[in-house]
Amino acid sequence: MLSATGLALTLALLGSAPKAAPPKAPKVELVDATTVIPDLVLDLRYATKDNFLKRQVYPDGARCLLLPDSVKRLKQAAEVLRPQGYRLKVYDCYRPRAVQYEMWKILPKPGYVADPRKGSNHNRGGAVDLTLVTKDGAEVEMPTPFDDFTPAAHHGYTGGTPASREHREVLRKAMEGAGFQRNRMEWWHYDLPGATKLPVLDVPFTPNG
């Protein structure tokens, strides 16, 4: 048994021992999807006023940034679609958390905008909003426009034209075949599996920040 003096000395030594540094968060690298998919069409709606917020919340020069795994899967989908006469057009990719807070100020309604305290899969680089275009870049009919928050945007919607439903299914098969998971309420939204477990990011859109 330690004496009082020995116990005091032991405690003093323990108190003076250097504390282990907290583990550093892993550095996450985002990839510009156009560097991997050259024929990817960009229509980043939040870099314009043509969105449901009616405001530009992304800076000029915003890019389609995604996690490497997201880009790899997106490339697979694009390669499946090309022989069918289609290209991919993206509406939204990675979204900085700071922008998520700005969107929340404008429309703080879960279901329309994710609560920035929890973060969106877009904030993680693990979600992409997209549609199909022809090889020449012409619009392809879908059941609704982008960011249409009505039942017509659901994957189970049986209305609209046969062509719009067929295009929705072509996109779904390509994206799910590449390993993405559909958002059942938004035909344009696809998630990387397990994205909700990934860190929320606040990386700038442009190389110089």
What residue numbers does the annotated binding site cover?
122, 129, 189
- Give the contacts of 175 (CB within 8 A, at least 6 positions apart): 77, 182, 190
Reply yes or no on whether 186 is catalytic: yes
Strands (E) located in the chain: 31-32, 41-42, 65-66, 86-92, 127-134, 181-183, 186-191
* CA distances from residue 195 to 53, 101, 121, 180 in whole angstroms, order as listed: 25, 19, 6, 10
Q: Which position among 29, 166, 169, 186 bears the catalytic label?
A: 186
Annotated binding site for Zn(2+), which residues? 122, 129, 189
Dump strand ranges (E) for 43-136: 65-66, 86-92, 127-134
Give me the active site residues, please.
186
